[in-house]
Amino acid sequence: MSRSKKWKQEWSFFLGENGRRQYNKICRKCIHSCKQSFRAGIVTCPFYQTDRTKKRQEKG
């Protein structure tokens, strides 16, 4: 398998209709390299916490 074909298969989950890489809306402005695809429904990121999560941890 050629490199370009392998690269395209690896990135196919990230490619949008316009053929460009697209990330999850939470990951777009993030500085960390653990970006997730816009197709991912649930984002699991060790660096991201919502206000709701923070309040739960304070209660707990």
pLDDT tens for the 60 residues of the chain, in order: 667 888 878 888 888 888 888 888 878 888 888 888 888 876 677 777 666 666 666 665
**Number of domains the chain is built from:** 1
Q: Residue 58's domain spans which residues?
A: 1-60
Does residue 26 contact residue 48 with C-beta atoms inside 8 Å?
yes
Report CA-CA distances (Å) from 47 to 23, 33, 39.
16, 11, 20
CA distance 5 to 40: 23
Closest CA to 23 of 12, 33, 13, 37: 37
